[in-house]
DNA sequence: CGCGTCCTTGAGAGTTGTCAACTCCAGTGG
DNA sequence: CCACTGGAGTTGACAACTCTCAAGGACGCG
């Protein structure tokens, strides 16, 4: 991991998206992480919270016997670890080459107390995260393997703003642990979709959505 | 449903728990709902948000073909529907006899802008909800039926502050839809726990935790 | 007391997991 | 340049957990 301590964050992204959070930028530290590098671990003191600048971050929870679940993939612009109190209850790892901005939690909270716009942004983001989590719970609790994978592809395409071709930054393992499946099942479903002509896979991590209606629910 | 319009909420619960939210009380309307009555539906305009005063509320999501998932059971003191923007993306229903306080969303947001303590409370609650949702996703994605039921019982006992005897306000259907199982599987697991001496069921909705260690993970 | 709803239990089916072999590919070093 | 190696992904056979379907039991309410 490389740190440019106390450098103000570069390249302000699309302003509309950041809005009230611009105030945060000043107190952040820009950091880089390589593939599979750990940003923080489950149980670490939750001293900081983060915003993704580039790349993909996975938030993982581990069971004692090694079973893993990925609660979320965070893409550019997403905030994470803001909800921790005391210690992180999940770990964060870089899926690919990642740049984040790290904020001292205490400073964030001070800012939120002083600036209602910052508080509002944090609130809004937290609420959006909650809505997304509820959606994912529906997926995990009530959808078949095929529906989960299809839903995952469409969701990722939307978040990456891709209509047809999709570069998956994560491994089959990550996908499986995100969807509550095994890698074999993910692989089989993808092969099935390919055979059905719904998608194409020019390479393992590149997926083209040929027939979106075949991926849609119903 | 019965409404006592603009009556200030009665019987302030344990003060510590409400804290900054006392300011909210003034703008709330107290309402009652009977068993299985709908508080709001998926798709309704999200004009209000709520706090549970007494009873149990379930937050449900429905798939087009009727599959249902319960995202959360809200007990006394819990807030819900604060995250909605525009319209509710889930329905809320009374599990048993329920009393809630209903707040106009616009007024809540005005309050949050003016009073940092209110904003902080909402933020904290949202973050706690997010943490709980991530925990539930781990359960749905990676735990066996037995682990889910055991985890559910322990969690409910903790939230109801019961050490031994537990009164389940919800049906097996509700439990199943909350845990991503079928009613038959829930029933079988409970019977198994009873046979193993981990719990007793003096009546269908009453469960006694005889051997907590048998319910613990690991 | 009878009806309906909820719950339990059983038998069998099905989706997904487990285990194992094989392929593919990138990186390494002879 | 090519063989080697190891990780990731795919595919197949089989097992297992959970679901489905069905019947019966318990309980509350009229």
Q: Which has the higher per-residue pLDDT, A57 or A18?
A: A57
The CA-atom distances, in angstroms, between B139 and each of A53, A184, A191 are: 30, 21, 28
Whether residue B102 contacts residue B31, with contact meaning beta carbons closer than 8 Å, is answered with yes
The CA-atom distances, in angstroms, between A49 and each of A61, A78, A80 are: 17, 11, 6
H helices within B143-181, ranges in order? 145-159, 172-179
Nearest alpha-carbon partner for A72 in A144, A139, A167, A123: A139
pTM, two decimals, is: 0.93
Across all strands, nucleotide nearest B184 (CA–C1') = C8
Min distance B106 CA to chain A CA atoms (Å): 13
Nucleic acid strand D within 7 Å of B181 CB: yes
Residues of chain B in contact with residue A129, where contact means CB-CB under 8 angstroms, are 130
Contact yes or no for A142 and B69 at CB 8 A: yes
Residues of chain B in contact with residue A112, where contact means CB-CB under 8 angstroms, are 116, 119-120, 123
**Residue B135: Cβ within 10 Å count:** 17
Residues of chain B in contact with residue A89, where contact means CB-CB under 8 angstroms, are 131, 134-135
CA–CA separation, B120 and B104 (whole Å): 18
CA–CA separation, A139 and A137 (whole Å): 5
**Residue A42: Cβ within 10 Å count:** 14
Report the b/e string of B68-92 with b at 16+ CB within 10 A.
Answer: bbbbbbbbbbbbbbbbbeeebbbbb
| A-proximal residues of B, 77-96, CB under 8 Å | 82-85, 89-90
- Residue pLDDT, tens place only, A64-87: 999 999 999 999 999 999 999 899
Contact yes or no for A177 and B141 at CB 8 A: yes
pLDDT tens, N- to C-terminus, chain B (218 residues) = 656 544 444 444 444 444 567 788 889 999 999 999 999 999 999 999 999 999 999 999 999 999 999 999 999 999 999 999 899 999 999 999 999 999 999 999 999 999 999 999 999 999 999 999 999 999 999 999 999 999 999 999 999 999 999 999 999 999 999 999 999 999 999 999 999 999 999 999 999 999 999 999 97
> Is residue B17 classed as helix, strand or coil in its secondary structure?
helix
Sign for the pseudo-dihedral over CA of B107, B111, B112, B118: negative
Contact yes or no for A83 and B113 at CB 8 A: no
- Residue pLDDT, tens place only, A22-59: 788 889 999 999 999 999 999 999 999 999 999 999 99
**Residue A11: Cβ within 10 Å count:** 7
Angle between helices B116-142 and A116-142 (to 10 degrees): 20
Q: How far is the CA of B210 from the C1' of D26 (A)?
A: 24
The set of strand D positions with any atom below 7 Å of a protein CB reads 8-13, 17-22, 27-28
pLDDT of residue A24: 83
CA–CA separation, A6 and B92 (whole Å): 46
The set of strand C positions with any atom below 7 Å of a protein CB reads 6-11, 15-20
CA–CA separation, A152 and A178 (whole Å): 9
Q: How far is the CA of B206 from the C1' of D12 (A)?
A: 47
Min distance A119 CA to chain B CA atoms (Å): 7
């Amino acid at each position: 991991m490389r740190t440019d301590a106390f450098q103000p964050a570069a390249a302000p992204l699309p302003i509309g998206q950041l809005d009230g959070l611009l105030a945060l930028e000043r107190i952040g530290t820009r950091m880089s992480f390589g593939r599979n590098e750990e940003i923080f671990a489950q149980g670490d003191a939750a001293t900081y919270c983060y915003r993704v600048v580039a790349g993909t971050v996975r938030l993982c929870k581990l069971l004692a016997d090694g079973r893993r679940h990925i609660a979320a993939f965070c893409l550019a612009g997403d905030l994470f670890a803001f909800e921790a109190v005391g210690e992180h209850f999940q770990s964060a790892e870089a899926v690919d080459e990642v740049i984040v901005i790290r904020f001292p939690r205490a400073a964030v909270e001070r800012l939120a107390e002083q600036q209602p716009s910052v508080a509002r942004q944090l609130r809004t983001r937290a609420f959006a995260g909650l809505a997304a989590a509820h959606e994912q719970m529906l997926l995990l609790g009530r959808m078949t393997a095929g529906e989960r994978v299809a839903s995952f592809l469409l969701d990722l395409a939307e978040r990456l703003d891709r209509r047809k071709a999709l570069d998956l930054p994560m491994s089959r393992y990550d996908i499986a642990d995100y969807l509550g499946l095994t890698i074999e099942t993910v692989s089989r479903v993808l092969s099935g979709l390919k055979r059905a002509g719904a998608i194409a896979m020019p390479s393992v991590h590149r997926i083209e959505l040929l027939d979106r209606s075949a991926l849609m629910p119903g």
